[in-house]
Amino acid sequence: MAYLITKENIKNLLTDLIKLKAVFAPKKDAEDTVLFGKLSSSSEWHGDALLTHTTAKDKVYLQSETFFKIKRNKSGVTIEDGPEPEETVIFGCRPCDARGFDIIGKLFNWSNFVDEYYTKRIAKTTIICISCEKPESTCFCTSFTKGSPVNETGSDVLLTNIKDGKYLAESITDKGRKLIGDNSKYFTEASKADEEAKVTFKAEAEKKIAKKLDLAEVKRKLEPAFESVYWDTVHLPCVKCGACTFVCPTCYCFDITEKAFDNINSVRVRSWDTCMNELFTRMAGGVNPRTDTKKRFRQRFMHKFNYHVDNFKEELCTGCGRCIKACPVSIDIRKVIEEIR
Amino acid sequence: MAENIYKPHLAKVVEVKVETVDIKSYKFELLDPGVRKTFSWKAGQFLILDIFGVGETIFTFANPQTRNEFIECSIRKVGQVTEAIHELEAGAIVGIRGPYGNWFPFDKWQGKNLLYIAGGVGLAALRSPIEFALDTFKDFKKKTILYGARSPLDICYKDRFSDWEKVPDTEIILTADKGAEGWKHKVGFVPTVLKEVHLSPADSVAIICGPPIMIKFVLKELLDLGFTPEQIVTTLEMRMKCGLGKCGRCNVKNIYICKDGPVFTYAQLKELPDEY
Amino acid sequence: MDKELQEIIKKLLAEKKVDWAIGYEKAYDELSTRPAFVQDANDTARLIFNKYCINNLGLYLTKFKKNKLAVVCKGCDIATVFELIKEKQFSRENVVVIGVACEGVLDKKTGKQLEKCENCRVKQPKGADFTVGTGKDSAAPKNFLDVVEFEKKSSKEKAEFWNRQFEKCIRCYACRNVCPVCYCPDCFANRTMPEYLNKNVDAEENKLFHMIRMQHVFGRCTDCKACDTACPVNIPLTLLTKKLAKDAKELFNYESGADMDVLPPLSTYNEADSESDIL
């Protein structure tokens, strides 16, 4: 079912939501950094930037998540669960971000082991996504089967700016239907013409994305390329930082560590980790199967476009292009996988 | 909601035994009687041991399911967590989660000769499949254990050997890279000794665990002896954190060692790129 | 200018004077460039130099110690090369410095010229083996007005400002990894025995990381802005590196990379040294 909502009513909706839930939306700070921040007022929403500097991933899959608190004393050890997640709204993310949740959600439910931290948090999160009108030079979402500037995967509500200040609002999931139902005063029913306007919007937005990769071909080339000399030189500029993986909507690798406050209290924490870091695979005692940059660099691309496809039938990438922009030496993921030999 | 996959069961250290200069063996007892009853594993699987205040590390079960009164691990001091473990005394409370990973396919090995080849602390990983086969000895033909360490002082599980040898059709061959006074066994590297004892590949399975360099040369010897890649089984060791196939670090190709391993045949390993 | 640059490198590679040449090439759009590694004399056509060549290629010297390298350097990047030679990270004979005249570079994220370019005294590179182009140095010396202004803030204001910055930090370590003088093979941030820095990412731990890193690079940092421009969330690290430069100048009359004969202040002892940090 599709509705219409005006930009003004979007702000009213945000004002109402802020009273009930934690609402995260793009916010711009004094250094011109646009990040998903908790809104205290609807006017803080910065809707002008296409992409935030980092993704909304960290609002569901926290960069550092306290699993539980540990207390050691004479009578033994007690493990205390952290607080339950609160009702949350992620507002104004893009289809590539929303699809990221769909992709990592599958991993966290993989192989009979359900990650309750992710699952509980995503269950309490409503994602209101906004379709993209104009891509950046780094965008390549249309290379993916499900990728599009108007893709709905992972969103609960998808907003598309079909005419000046008027958004087509589509409820994708039950959570989305509930959100619209609970706030029905801000929505009007969309006409057939409005829905058709989205078709035009889609065609035009997709046309603007210049780069389209043949990912099936990339997969075919990657499969035998493990030993390829290609990796010997392509990795050379890489400085092995984790910027690419930490701004990625799909990179999910993590570490589990302990933070001790004293001899009694500590917390078990899960933190994002990155395959670019040498410590990622170094064993106690020093043996490391991925010692040099080349091996770690290769792992990132192999994982995203080969191994993950084997295990999940989809790439571990949504084409948001953030890694390209965040890379201090401007390594272009599209170029790297396209030129594989 | 199902149980939290990251939350350990509490367990008590029941016994600490010094094996060598840097290896200690531990017996743990799960505190919750209900958990104790349902907690079961198979030889080859591993657990995650939680030292509260320090962190978690992965160890294989040192004892098989046929000797499951306690959970046992033999642990070499190599890093931050294992150093903390070596400080533990009886009565200390730790956490245990698991079991994880696959196991040795003993059901497929019924009626076969079993050849165990271990180097150094690698015997800790083979103790559970060895003792499982000894406890169910009627199901198998000859059990041969070839075990080597750097020096006689580094030999682990010394006091278990006499019990092992009492089991019918069981032979233990010990070797040390360098001998010492009073050492009555062989001197030399495991692959060399393997060549000398000349075992037949007929109806046999070789189970190897040890340092990578030993595995490399043992593999060569076994193939020369006529073992097929399918007849050779080993366990892979990688850095692991979650044990659940999620944290992303223990992969070789699209295989996660924690989930799809750690037990592999050499035939399977040959299909994987050299990144382990 | 690009042609001249390409020819010099072509010759160096063809005559086997160097194993690798490191320069710049166009990246993903007209406004971006990336480091280019060239090994083949016939592969120099992609090398360029323009106002988007922001990376300090001196970074790679410590990563390719075993090779003879030709490195394209802006005047400011040469300071890094000299600093690293002084620190005995590699020998002068192993690097051919190709200086390029520069009119200032632009931050790819903001499109604005870097602050360091305003009063640049090395637009015309100094100390290079080859120089391409001519540049007109700024008449005014580097000033520290922005740092002076920041220093006037109250402790509370400073704390609020930096807490807000370090809350943004995602500890990707891009700042550390692009820093030419952050070459420790075993960074304190990675150590576990003992553990200096917990993996838990929060403002407190993040602050600890940045403060320790800044102390480690004091008197060695050439204020090249590599860390500042690398930060994916725009933490103004330039304020910190410039403060380091200001302190080095004021306390020890030292400028990193400026003079090959003067040793870094924390590597030497002089009875007249400032003791202002000793309480």
Measured between CA atoms, the residue of chain C closest to residue B83 is C193
CB atoms closer than 10 angstroms to residue B59? 22
Give CA–CA dist B274/A227, Å, rounded: 9
Give the separation between CA C60 and CA C71, rounded to whole angstroms. 9
B130 and B73 in one domain?
no
A167-177 residues labelled b (16+ CB within 10 A) or e (exposed):
bbbbbbeebbe
How many CB atoms sit inside 10 A of residue A322's CB?
A: 27
In degrees to the nearest 10, what's the CA dihedral of B130, B134, B136, B137? Answer: 120
Q: How far is CA B145 from CA A12, B121, B197, in A?
A: 75, 14, 12
Least Cα separation, residue A52 to chain C (angstroms): 10
> Which strands form C130-132's sheet, in the order they lie side by side?
C33-38, C20-26, C69-74, C95-100, C130-132
Q: pLDDT tens digit string along C223-249? A: 999 999 999 999 999 999 999 999 999
pLDDT at residue C276, rounded to an integer:
67
Q: Is residue B28 classed exposed, middle or buried when 0-12, 13-18 and 19+ CB atoms within 10 A define those classes?
A: buried
Assigned domain for C215 exists: yes
Nearest to B66, CA basis, from B113, B103, B116, B12 = B103
What is the nearest CA distance from C197 to chain B, expressed in angstroms?
Answer: 14
C161 and C261 inside one domain: yes
Looking at residue B79, what DSSP letter applies?
S
What are the tens digits of pLDDT across the range B55-102? 999 999 999 999 999 999 999 998 888 999 999 999 999 999 999 999
Alpha-carbon span A323 to A242, nearest angstrom: 10
Q: Quick one: which of C109, C31, C159 has its CA closest to A33?
A: C109
Is there a single domain that holds both residue C173 and residue C253?
Answer: yes
Encode B100-140 in three state secondary structure.
Answer: ECCCCCHHHCCCCEEEEEEECCHHHHHHHHHHHHHHCHHHC
Say if CB A160 and CB A75 are below 8 A apart.
no
Residue A161 contacts residue A6 (beta carbons within 8 Å): no
In terms of residue numbers, what domain contains C18?
Answer: 2-132
**What is the ipTM for the molecules in this complex?**
0.92
At C156 the pLDDT is 96
Q: Which residues pair with C24 in a beta bridge?
A: C35, C48
Of C100, C132, C164, the one marking the end of a domain is C132
Considering Cα of B126, then B131, then B136, then B139, what sign does the dihedral take? positive
The number of angstroms, rounded, from the C-alpha of C92 to the middle of its chain's C-alpha atoms is 18
Please report which confidence band the pLDDT of residue B2 belongs to, taking 50, 70 and 90 as the band edges: low
Closest Cβ opposite residue C28 in set A137, A267, A273: A137
**How many angstroms separate the Cα of B247 from the Cα of each of A98, A283, A313, B239, B259?**
21, 15, 19, 11, 11
Residue in chain C lying closest to A284 (CA) = C192
Question: Can you tell me the distance from the alpha carbon of A284 to that of B78, in angstroms, rounded to the nearest whole number?
Answer: 6
Selected for mutation to probe chain C from A69, A229, A239 (highest C CB count within 10 Å) is A239
Mean pLDDT of the region B121-127: 90
Q: Beta-strand (E) ranges in A164-246?
A: 166-171, 188-189
Domain end (from B100, B118, B139): B100
Q: What is the pLDDT of residue C202?
A: 93
Query: Does C224 map to a domain?
Result: yes
Count Cβ neighbours within 10 Å for each residue of A97-125 and write b for 16 or more, e otherwise: bbbbbbbbbebbebeebbbbbbbebbebb
Task: Judge whether B25 and B62 are in contact, CB under 8 Å.
Answer: yes
- C81 falls within a domain: yes
Nearest to C219 by CA among C177, C178, C262: C262
Q: What are phi and psi of B82, to 5 degrees?
A: -65, -30
Calculate the CA dihedral of residues C155, C159, C165, C170 and round it to 10 degrees: 140
Residue B256 falls inside a structural domain: no
CA distance C162 to chain B (A): 30
Q: Is residue C139 part of a domain?
A: no
d(CA A223, CA A225): 6
Judged by CB atoms closer than 8 Å, whether chains meet at A246 and C35 is answered as no
Residues of A in contact with C232 (CB under 8 A): 53-54, 243, 246-247, 325-326
CB nearest to B248's CB, from A268, A275, A284: A275
Do the chains contact at C192 and B83, CB–CB below 8 Å?
Answer: no
**B6 with A268: Cβ contact below 8 A:** yes
Report d(CA A64, CA C190) in Å as an integer.
Answer: 17
Does B227 lie in the same domain as B164? yes
Q: What angle do CA A309, A313, A319 make, to 5 degrees?
A: 65
What are B191-250's pLDDT values in tens digits? 999 988 878 899 999 999 988 889 889 999 999 999 999 999 999 888 899 999 999 999
At residue C51, the pLDDT reads: 95
* Residue B96 with chain A: CB contacts under 8 Å: none
Q: Which of A107, A115, A268 sits opposite B5 (nearest CB)?
A: A115
Residue-by-residue pLDDT tens, chain C, 279 positions: 899 999 999 999 999 999 999 999 999 988 899 999 999 999 999 999 999 999 999 999 998 888 999 999 999 999 999 999 988 898 899 999 999 999 999 988 778 899 899 889 999 999 999 999 998 988 888 889 999 999 999 999 999 999 999 999 999 999 999 999 999 988 999 888 788 999 999 999 999 999 999 999 999 999 999 999 999 999 999 999 999 999 999 988 888 877 778 888 888 777 777 776 665
Same domain? C172 vs C121: no
Q: What pLDDT is stored for residue C278 in this prediction?
A: 61
| C105 lies in the same domain as C155 | no
User: What tokens does B20 get?
Assistant: 């060598």
| C127 and C11 part of one domain | yes
Number of structural domains found in chain C = 2
CATH of the domain at B153: 3.40.50.80
Q: How far apart are CA A102 and CA C211, in angstroms?
A: 38
State the smallest CA–CA distance between residue B166 and chain A in angstroms. 36
Instruction: State the pairing for strand pair C130-132/B232-235.
Output: unpaired
Structure tokens at A299: 């792992």
List chain A domain ranges.
2-66+84-207, 215-338
Q: B76 with B122, same domain?
A: no
Q: Is residue C138 part of a domain?
A: no
* Domain termination site, one of C107, C132, C157: C132
Nearest CB among C39, C198, C234 relative to A33 is that of C234
Give yes or no: residues B162 and B182 share one domain: yes
Q: Please list every residue in chain C whose beta carbon sits closer than 8 Å to the beta carbon of residue A273.
A: 199
**Are residues C32 and A271, on separate chains, in Cβ contact within 8 Å?**
no
User: Which pair of structure tokens corresponds to residue A326?
Assistant: 């965040």
- Nearest-angstrom CA–CA distance, C167 and A58: 13
Same domain, C77 and C154: no
Q: C125 and C192 share a domain?
A: no
- Does the residue B250 lie in any domain? no
Query: What is the CATH number for B92?
Result: 2.40.30.10
DSSP, res C106: B
Q: Which residues of chain C have a CB within 8 Å of the CB of A324?
A: 28
Same domain, C35 and C83: yes
DSSP letter assigned to residue B228: -
Using a pLDDT cut of 90, give the percent of chain B over it.
79
Distance from CA of C224 to the nearest CA of B (A): 35
Tokens of A276: 């670019």
Give the mean pLDDT of A279-291: 86
B-proximal residues of C, 163-222, CB under 8 Å: 192-193, 195
User: Buried (b) or exposed (e) across A242-268, using 16+ Cβ within 10 A?
Assistant: bbbbbbbbbbbbbbbbbbbeeeeebbb
Q: Do C200 and C233 fall into the same domain?
A: yes
Write down which chains contact chain C via at least 3 CB pairs under 8 A.
A, B
State how far the Cα of A247 lies from the Cα of A320, in Å rounded to an integer.
Answer: 10
Structural domain including B35 reads 9-100
What DSSP element (H or E) covers A38? strand A34-38
Q: Do residue A285 and residue B78 have CB atoms under 8 angstroms apart?
A: yes
Token reading at C4: 């001249």
The answer to whether residue B4 sits within a structural domain is no
- Which segments of A74-191 does DSSP mark as H helices, in order? 95-108, 116-123, 174-182
Nearest-CA neighbor of B205 among B233, B178, B169? B233
Cβ within 8 Å, pair B6-A285:
no
Residue A340, pLDDT above cutoff 50: yes
How close, in Å, is residue C176 to chain A by CA atoms? 8
Please report whether residue B243 resides in a domain. Answer: no
Q: In what order do the strands lie in the sheet with B55-60?
A: B55-60, B46-51, B93-100, B9-18, B23-30, B71-76
**C127 and C235: one domain?**
no
Contacts of residue C193 in chain B, CB cutoff 8 Å? 79-80, 83
Same domain, yes or no, for B76 and B14?
A: yes
User: Do C124 and C9 share a domain, yes or no?
Assistant: yes
Residue B25's alpha-carbon distances to A243, A253, B119, B123, C43, in angstroms, are 42, 32, 17, 12, 60
Strand partners, B186: B175
Q: What is the total count of domains within chain B?
A: 2
Residue type, A22: A
Q: Which of B100, B129, B146 is the last residue of a domain?
A: B100
Token readout for C279 is 């309480």
Number of CB pairs < 8 Å for B and C? 6
Closest CA to A93 of A31, A25, A150, A140: A25
Return d(Cα C224, Cα C272) in angstroms, integer.
29
Of B246, B249, B251, the CB nearest to A115: B246
Spell out which residues of chain C touch residue B80, defining contact as CB-CB under 8 Å: 192-193, 195
Contact C174 A243 (CB under 8 A): yes
How confident is the prediction for chain A on average, in pLDDT?
94
Q: For residue B1, name the pLDDT band (cuts at 50, 70, 90).
A: very low
Which is nearest to A19 in space by CA: A47, A40, A5? A40
- Bridge partners of B55, per DSSP, are B51
Tell me the torsion sign for CA atoms B35, B38, B42, B45.
negative
Last residue of a domain, one of B100, B116, B151: B100
In a domain, C272, yes or no: no
Same domain, residue pair B81 and B133? no
Please give the Cα distance from B234 to B229 (Å, whole number): 11
Residues B46 and B91 reside in one and the same domain:
yes
Residues in A closer than 8 angstroms to B249, CB to CB, are: 253, 273, 275, 280-281
Q: Average pLDDT over chain B, rounded to whole?
A: 92
- B226 and chain C in contact, CB less than 8 A: no
B79 to chain C, any CB pair closer than 8 A? The answer is yes
For residues C96 and C155, state if they share a domain.
no
Q: Which of A226, A268, A272, A300 to mutate to test the interface with B (most CBs of B within 10 A)?
A: A268
- Record the tokens describing residue B3, joined without a space: 């149980």
Is C177 inside a domain boundary? yes
* Partner residue facing B6 (CB), from A67, A288, A295: A67
- The CA distance from A17 to A36, in Å, is 16
